Amino acid sequence: MVNELQRLGYLKAMGVDAYVPRLQLPGALASRLCAVPHIEEPVPAEFVAASLHSMPAEKVPVAAKGHAAAAHALFVDDHDNRIRKPVAASTMAPAEIQQTSQDAPQFSLSIVRASNLLIIDAGLEGHVNPQDYLQLLHNMLFALGAGKQQLSIDAFVWPMNKNNQIDQGEIAARQTLGAFLAKQADQMSKRYFLVMGDLACRYVSRDPLPVGEFVKYGQLDVQLIRTQSASQMLIEPSVKLEVWRDLGPLHRVLKQI
């Protein structure tokens, strides 16, 4: 039996124009079109994945050729790709991928306030008694001519939070500490900073600081002098003599205040 498409093909080969109306005219016979192959709806991936090992592979009938076979293969290929090639979703945020341990230093500094100067030292370790530490600084300042002091101590801890989406590198740590020290300097009548130890020196100043010499601190009207850490003096009492020599310029200034 000749279907409509074959009939149109024969007419075209004979040079006869034939048309298929878009609308069905009243009383006209229905056009005989090609039979559309019935293709089953693809099964959701979750059901196929669950029965993948229990169900045998479906065989395509040999007689299924032409457009029906191509359409069937199209659905099967698409479905198989979803099973064989799952998309691996990344659970890491972009900031966590770029962030490395070297970019986020972890440290703490002790900020000790006196009446006429500010002391920046390394953070107290677990074996250091805070009372012994403050008593040592009080005796040192008294020997330097600062008189009796009422000392208060705070801690500058970096990083300040665990938000990996903000910059927590060494430059950011230095800038944050600089802003904190600038605010402290505004509250002081005599602006002198005593930087003690290599760790404090590293984050207070980008450039190396000379030992035992006054240096202007950034854009602020602050004189800064460097020596060894007070915690080191508690461990090695012989270091006190070196600190006394380093703080000679500060001794001369404090005697005149």
* DSSP 8-state class, residue 211: B
| Integer Cα distance of 111 and 136 in angstroms | 15
Q: What are 219's two structure tokens?
A: 């854009």
pTM of the model: 0.60
The residue extents of the domains of the chain are 1-37, 107-256
The partner residues of 153 in beta bridges, in order of sequence, read 112
Give the angle 34-39-40 at the CA atoms, nearest 5°.
Answer: 155
Strands (E), the chain: 107-113, 118-122, 152-158, 192-196, 215-216, 223-227
Q: What are 21's two structure tokens?
A: 């109306």
pLDDT by 10s per residue, the chain, length 257? 677 778 888 888 888 877 766 666 566 666 665 555 566 666 555 554 555 455 555 554 544 455 455 445 444 444 444 444 444 444 444 444 344 445 689 999 999 999 889 999 999 988 889 999 999 999 999 999 988 889 999 999 999 888 878 888 999 999 999 999 999 988 887 789 999 999 999 999 989 999 999 999 887 889 999 999 999 999 999 999 999 999 999 999 998 87
3-class SS at 212? coil
Which pLDDT does position 161 carry in this prediction?
84
The partner residues of 211 in beta bridges, in order of sequence, read 226
Quick one: CA dihedral 238, 244, 246, 247, positive or negative? Answer: positive
Phi-psi category of residue 75: left, alpha or beta, with phi > 0 → left and psi -120 to 50 → alpha: alpha
